[in-house]
Amino acid sequence: MPYPRKRVWIVGGIILAACVVLAGAGVAYTSGTEFCLSCHEMRVYQDELKLSSHAKDAQGKDISCSQCHIPSGNLARMLGAKAWLGLKDLWVHNLDGGEDLDRAGMQPVARRFTDDANCRACHQDLSKNAKNDGPVSKEGQLAHDNYLGKNGRARSGCVGCHQNLAHLPVFDERIPHNQKFAQKLKESRS
């Protein structure tokens, strides 16, 4: 009896389509802020974000975790980041208990997965300050020119210079340019 090829291709196509739909739904669900905050150890980040300059986007909408932390320009990079960060977070939550996060150790990893494209989605004109109401400082202009390749080439992405904009661990509160943010956090904790 001949093998029913047509039926195999149809069933295979249906199974493939179902897998793609389920994977897409899984990626969308696990990219939501509600999913991120379902782990208690992530709530400190939510509290910090609410008080940061990056709590809302230019349209006044709440910024989600994935807007900053999941690479948006490349599907393979996005899926790789989600897999790596997801497995790492599951490990911390289930095996390390997640009670006392090593935020100093986590910062380089978080910065590595914060794509410049995500920052540039909101901050397109690098000659303007963050509020878009004036020019950046002289130092900022030189750094941005370097980043854009106008006077050399930067080795660092956006978060290499712009640290602690949405989250501020206690050990970084002492840095002078973090003082306003640190004061807001101290007032909220008391």
Check pLDDT > 70 for residue 12. yes
Q: Summarize the confidence of residues 75-96 as an average pLDDT.
A: 81
Check pLDDT > 60 for residue 1. no
CA dist 5 → 18, 19, 91 (Å): 20, 21, 44
User: pLDDT class for 99, splitting at 50, 70, 90?
Assistant: low
130 contact partners, CB below 8 Å, separation of at least 6: 53, 123
The Cα 142–Cα 149 span in angstroms is 10
The Cα 13–Cα 7 span in angstroms is 10
The Cα 88–Cα 84 span in angstroms is 6
Check pLDDT > 90 for residue 165. no
Please give the single-letter amino acid code of residue 72: S
Name the residue with tokens 């950046």.
136
Model pTM score? 0.73
DSSP, collapsed to helix, strand or coil, labels residue 62 as: strand
Name the residue with tokens 């080795």.
155
Check pLDDT > 70 for residue 187. yes
More confident residue, 152 or 15: 15
Count Cα atoms within 13 angstroms, Cβ side, for 104.
4
Backbone angles phi, psi at 128, to 5 degrees: -100, 155
Torsion of CA 25, 56, 40, 76, to 10 degrees: 40
Check pLDDT > 80 for residue 14. yes
Architecture of 31-188 per CATH? Orthogonal Bundle (1.10)
Summarised one tens digit per residue, pLDDT across range 49-72 is: 888 888 888 788 888 888 888 887
